[in-house]
Amino acid sequence: MKYSEIGHRPFYHEFVLFPIIVAGSAVSDFKYFDEADSIVTYGYIDHETGFRFEVLSTASIRNDQLQIFNDRPEESRVFIKAEAINETEGFALKNKDEIYAANRQIIDSITSNYEDNEEIRESRSMSFLDESRDPFCIDDVQVHLNKQGNQVEACWARIEGLGDHVIIGKLLNEPYQDFGYHQGDTIGFFVQKTEDDKVICVCDMNPTAVITKEDLAGGQMLRDAIRRFNSERNENNLFDVLEMLRDSDVWIPCTAVLSEADQATVEKMIEETDGDPSLMVGKQMTTNDQIRMVPDILQNGNDFFFPAFSSDEEMGEYGQGFSKIETDFLHAINLARNNDRKLKGIVIDAFSEPFVLDAELFDIVEKMKTRIAEENLQKEPGEEKQ
């Protein structure tokens, strides 16, 4: 089998035999180099540099019998890029357990160092991306950037994750035109079919209709957008939600944390009631130190989510046990990003019509251009109301 004919999948995480000539002097320090005519390799993907074959040992074929020498020097690491053996015939080896047992340490090291997140691994199996995919740098795809006033421009992006009906990638080169995005920026893109049934990747950078802060007040417009998306999960409805979120104010449930001195003052006031809570009614205190507002975190199985709500009322009974702050959503992203826990994402209106913004999409929302006309912008990002 040849890489040029069948692509990366039959070689991925497989043991493959190649003629030793493809490695040349790179394996000259292997013990049985002079007797060998082949090499045993293991195929894997380096997210940054592409498909590679790690050389595990030399081998020899005599009278149709394969002898594997298991002679790789302990500190030796030799790999061959896929483009170097693109037209070379390779043979998949069947005695996988035996080869793995002899090379357990090096294969476990490859798995540990190059086994990317589950979403990146999933994207490698998406054959519909193959028309746009670099044949050697498997995680790199060509994306067509589309923005009104510009020509459609093709750029390379490296897949970093998968959202709900969106692929998340990082731009690998600087666009020639001004799209508002630059090399290294995170973008969201989709697959579309052209008129001749070719599948391409498209990033639509056109904002939708202009809105006002008054339109977003109370969160009803955001809730309507989420409801449409939950009813019909397509890219247009998704980006409508993301653009709404970018410009919306949200409510965040928090626990008020007093300083030790202020907490001691509260405890002293409680002691003075002699166990009668009614005596606390009407009492006032002035805090000496700043009150910390610590956002609550929701857990679903092993996943943690930062809760935000489109309105105070959407919290329901859950919100009664918390202090609440109202802030713009971009500030909510910063709060979520700086949380001590590793969050799966931000969940909007968790107890009514929920929408989860995956953590991988934070950068995309932050990069979106506001849909609010400049004269309607009143509140600075990050300003909170309690």
Per-residue confidence (pLDDT) for residue 355, from 0 to 100: 94
Per-residue confidence (pLDDT) for residue 319, from 0 to 100: 87
Question: Is the Cβ–Cβ distance between 316 and 330 less than 8 Å?
Answer: no
Q: What SS3 state is found at 317?
A: helix
C-alpha span between 128 and 132 (Å, rounded): 8
Per-residue confidence (pLDDT) for residue 277, from 0 to 100: 62
Per-residue confidence (pLDDT) for residue 311, from 0 to 100: 93
Which residue in 45, 32, 125 sits closest to 81, CA to CA? 45
Cα-based torsion angle of the residue sequence 375, 242, 307, 329 in order, rounded to the nearest 10 degrees: -20
- Cross-strand bridge partners of residue 133: 141
The β-bridge relationship of strands 199-204 and 140-146 is parallel
47-70 tens-digit pLDDT? 999 999 999 999 999 888 889 999
The β-bridge relationship of strands 65-68 and 199-204 is unpaired
Phi/psi region, residue 197 (left: phi>0; alpha: psi -120 to 50; beta: rest), is left
C-alpha span between 41 and 44 (Å, rounded): 10
C-alpha span between 80 and 107 (Å, rounded): 15
pTM of this structure: 0.68
> What count of other Cβ atoms lies within 10 Å of the Cβ of residue 109?
13
Per-residue confidence (pLDDT) for residue 263, from 0 to 100: 56
154 token code pair: 């093709």
Residue 247: Cβ-neighbour burial (10 angstroms; 0-12, 13-18, 19+): buried
Q: Containing H/E element for 323?
A: strand 323-328
C-alpha span between 385 and 378 (Å, rounded): 14
- What is the phi/psi pair of residue 100, to 5°? -60, -45
123 token code pair: 């994207």
Q: What SS3 state is found at 79?
A: strand
Q: What is the largest CA-CA distance in the chain?
A: 97
Which residues in the chain show pLDDT less than 70?
Answer: 164, 207-209, 257-292, 373-386
